[in-house]
Amino acid sequence: MTIQTVATTPFAGQRPGTSGLRKKVAEFLQPGYLENFVQAIFNSVGDCAGQTLVLGGDGRYFNRTAVQVILRMAAAHGYARVLVGRGGILSTPAVSCVIRKHAAAGGIVLSASHNPGGPDGDFGIKYNVGNGGPAPEKITEAIYVATQTIAVYRISDTAAPPLDQLGISQIEQMRVEVIDSVDDYAALMSELFDFAAIKALFAGGFTMRFDGMHAVSGPYAHAILEGMLGAPAGTVINGTPLEDFGGHHPDPNPVNAAELIALMFAPDSPDFGAASDGDADRNMIVGRAMAVTPSDSLAIIAANATVAPGYRAGIAGIARSMPTSTAADRVARALGVPCFETPTGWKYFGNLMDAGMATLCGEESYGTGSNHIREKDGVWAVLFWLNLLAASGKPVDTIVREHWARFGRNYYSRHDYEAVDAHAAEDMMEHLRAQLPELAGQQFDGFSVALADDFVYTDPVDHSVATRQGVRIVMTDGSRIVFRLSGTGTEGATIRLYLEKYEADPARHDIDPQVALAELATIAAGVSQLKARTGREHPTIVT
Ligand code: VG1
Ligand code: CO
C-alpha cells in the first residue's frame, strides 16, 4: 500500500468562521475541496507522527465519505492512532470528551451544527486541539493561510475500514479504533450528576420529551435518558440521526422546534421538554408553558450549581459571550465570583476554563456548558436541569420565576435577518460604527446611552486581542442593543440584532418579551437604518 501525493490548487474562501468551515454540500463535493482543507489542518497543527486523532461527525450527508477520506489522509501523515465513532458518529461534546480522556493531540469534527443538512444543505469541518476545545484563532488563521498556497495533499491508497463495527484495524502504520459513540461521554455525565435522584424522579412518574431533531443527540439521549436513567421509551422523539435531519432545521429554538413547543404549551403537556441541535452542543429547555431563554438558563444553572455532585464545591467563575444577557453577571456578583464577557463562539472560553478562571460558560444561542469538556454541551445542560428538578422538587416555571424574583428579569430577544445582501449588511455595520463616537450621552425615548463601541476582547490568559466583535449600545439602565454579523451562515449575510432590558419589579415579570423590548427595537431600527439599507421589513426569525 502506498501514500500518494496528489497535485491540487487552492480554493478561495476556505476560512473558518465562528465555528469551523461551513459551506454548501455542493461546494464540499468538488474534487479536492475536503482534501485541501484537511491537508491545511495537518500542515498547521505541527508534527502528527505518533499522535492520536479523534474523528467523528453529526451524521449529516457526506459525513461517512468524509470520515473515510480523512482516515486515509491521517494515515499518510503518520498518525499512530485514530479513534473514530461507530458509523462515523460523534457529537461535538463527545469529541471533546474523547480527546481529553484519551490524551489525543486533537480531533476533527464533521458538522455544520445547527445549519440544515442533506445534499442541498450545508456541511462543515472543524479542528479541535488537545484540551478538547475548538482551535484558537491563531490556528484557524494558519489553516486558512495554508489553504491559499496549497499545492499537494497526501493520502493513503488503502481503503478505509468499515465503520459500523466496533474494533481495531490498520491503514499503513495507523491503528483505526472504531469506538462506541456514547460510552465515554455517558460515563462522564454519570460522574457529574446525581443519576440516582434523576432515576427516582422518572420512577415517580415525571414525564419528559427530548427532541433529538433527527440529529446526533438522539443516540446519547436514548442511552442516557431511556437507558441509564429509566425514562420511559418514547421520552426521546426524533431520536434517529438522519442524513438530512428529516428535512428539518436542527436548531433548537421555539421556532424550529415548533412541534415540541406545541406539546409543552398544550394542557396535558409533559413536565419537562428539551431539544438539541445538529451536533448536540446546543440545548433548549422548556417547562410547562414556558420556554427558558438560554441566557436565563445559564444564570439559573450558575445560581444552583451546587445541587449537582460535579459542582458541589462551587464555581470559580462564569463566562458568557458578549451578546448573551447579563442575567449571569447578577448571579456571579451574588456568588462573589468573576463573570467574563467574551466574543461570540466557544473558542474564546477555552483559555478561561484551562486557567481555572471559569467553571460555567454560556451563549444566548442555546449554548451552555462547563469545564467538564471544552465545548458547549446540550445533553449536559438537560441533565443539569433534570438534576435541579429532582433536587428541588419544583417545576421549571417555579424555578424560573423564583430566580427572577430574586435577581430581576433580563428581558431578552434575538432578531435574525437571514440571507441579506452581504454588501448591504456590511454597509449597515459601517454606518453603525461611524456613529459610535457620538452615541454616548444621547437620549432616545426614555433611554440614555452610557456606552457605544465595537466590542474588543483581550484574552486575560494569553492577552490575544479580538477586534470588531459586535456593535453594542449600552443604556444607563443596563439595557442593551447589539448588532453583529453571523459567522456560520452560507448564504449572503445574516444580521443578528440582540435586545436586552432589565426589570427588577416582580409585578412586571409577565410581559411579552417583544412588548417589553419594543422601544429598544425601534431605537435599533432608527440607528441602524436596517430597513432602508437591507430592504427588510421584518426579521426572518425571532427567538
Ligand atoms: C452562532 C451563534 C454562536 C455559536 C455559533 C456556533 O454563531 O451565534 O453563539 O457559538 O453559532 O454554534 P454566528 O456567528 O452565526 O452568530 V453551533 O452549535 O452552530 O457550532
Ligand atoms: Co452545534
- From the CB of 418, is ligand 1 less than 6 Å away? no
- From the CB of 18, is ligand 1 less than 6 Å away? yes
Closest CA to 339 of 475, 381, 330, 375: 330
By most ligand atoms within 8 Å of CB, the mutation choice from 140, 349, 365 for ligand 1 is: 365
Q: pLDDT tens digits, residue range 472-528?
A: 999 999 999 999 999 888 889 999 999 999 999 999 999 999 999 999 999 999 999
What is the value of pTM for the model shown?
Answer: 0.96
Q: How far is the CA of 346 from the centre of ligand 1 (A)?
A: 8
Instruction: For domain 3-181, give the CATH number.
Output: 3.40.120.10
Q: pLDDT tens digits, residue range 165-182?
A: 999 999 999 999 999 999
Ligand 1: atom nearest CA of 126 is 20
Query: Over 90: is that where the pLDDT of 46 sits?
Result: no
Q: Which amino acid makes up residue 467?
A: T
Q: How far is the CA of 207 from the centre of ligand 1 (A)?
A: 30
Contacts of 508 by beta carbon, 8 Å cutoff, 6+ apart? none
Q: Which amino acid makes up residue 188?
A: L
- Percentage of the chain lying above the pLDDT 90 cut: 97
Secondary structure in 3-state letters for 260-293: HHHHHHCCCCCCEEEEECCCCCEEEEEECCEEEC
Q: How far is the CA of 345 from the centre of ligand 1 (A)?
A: 6
Q: pLDDT tens digits, residue range 94-136?
A: 999 999 999 999 999 999 999 999 999 999 999 999 999 999 9
User: pLDDT value at position 489?
Assistant: 83
Catalytic residue among 113, 181, 297, 479: 113
User: pLDDT value at position 381?
Assistant: 98
Instruction: For domain 185-407, give the CATH number.
Output: 3.40.120.10
Distance CA 498, CA 120 (A): 29
Contacts of 163 by beta carbon, 8 Å cutoff, 6+ apart? 64, 67, 68, 84, 86, 87, 88, 178
Q: How far is the CA of 344 from the centre of ligand 1 (A)?
A: 7
User: pLDDT value at position 490?
Assistant: 84
Of the listed ligands, the closest to the CA of 279 is 2
Domain boundaries, the chain: 3-181, 185-407, 409-542
Contacts of 392 by beta carbon, 8 Å cutoff, 6+ apart? 304, 307, 399
Taken in order 82, 238, 397, 207, is the CA torsion positive or negative? negative
Distance CA 243, CA 246 (A): 8
User: pLDDT value at position 491?
Assistant: 85
By most ligand atoms within 8 Å of CB, the mutation choice from 126, 140, 488 for ligand 1 is: 488
Closest CA to 37 of 131, 129, 123: 123
Residue nearest to atom 2 of ligand 1 (CA): 365
Q: pLDDT tens digits, residue range 353-380?
A: 999 999 999 999 999 999 999 999 999 9
Distance CA 105, CA 89 (A): 19
Q: Say whether 409-542 and 185-407 share the same fold.
A: no
Average pLDDT over residues 400-429: 97
Distance CA 107, CA 93 (A): 11
Helix (H) or strand (E) holding 175: strand 174-179
Burial 356-382 (b: 16+ CB within 10 A, else e): ebbbbbbbbbbbbbbbbbbbbbbbbbb
Can 190 be counted among the known catalytic residues?
no
Could you tell me how many residues make up the chain? 543
Average pLDDT, whole number, for the chain? 97
User: pLDDT value at position 209?
Assistant: 98
- From the CB of 111, is ligand 1 less than 6 Å away? no
Fold exhibited by the domain 409-542:
TATA-Binding Protein (3.30.310)
Q: How far is the CA of 19 from the centre of ligand 1 (A)?
A: 7
Of the listed ligands, the closest to the CA of 216 is 2
Taken in order 213, 215, 218, 221, is the CA torsion positive or negative? negative
Q: Which residues pair with 290 in a beta bridge?
A: 287
Other C-beta atoms closer than 10 Å to the C-beta of 175 total 15
Q: How far is the CA of 215 from the centre of ligand 1 (A)?
A: 17
Query: Over 80: is that where the pLDDT of 1 sits?
Result: no
Ligand 1: atom nearest CA of 281 is 18
- From the CB of 113, is ligand 1 less than 6 Å away? yes
Of the listed ligands, the closest to the CA of 367 is 1
Ligand 1: atom nearest CA of 20 is 20
User: Which class for 58: exposed (0-12), middle (13-18), buried (19 or more C-beta within 10 A)?
Assistant: buried
Query: Over 90: is that where the pLDDT of 248 sits?
Result: no
- From the CB of 295, is ligand 1 less than 6 Å away? no
Query: Over 80: is that where the pLDDT of 152 sits?
Result: yes
CB 245 within 8 A of CB 212: no
Query: Over 80: is that where the pLDDT of 236 sits?
Result: yes
User: pLDDT value at position 445?
Assistant: 86
Largest Cα–Cα separation, the chain: 74
Residue nearest to atom 18 of ligand 1 (CA): 113
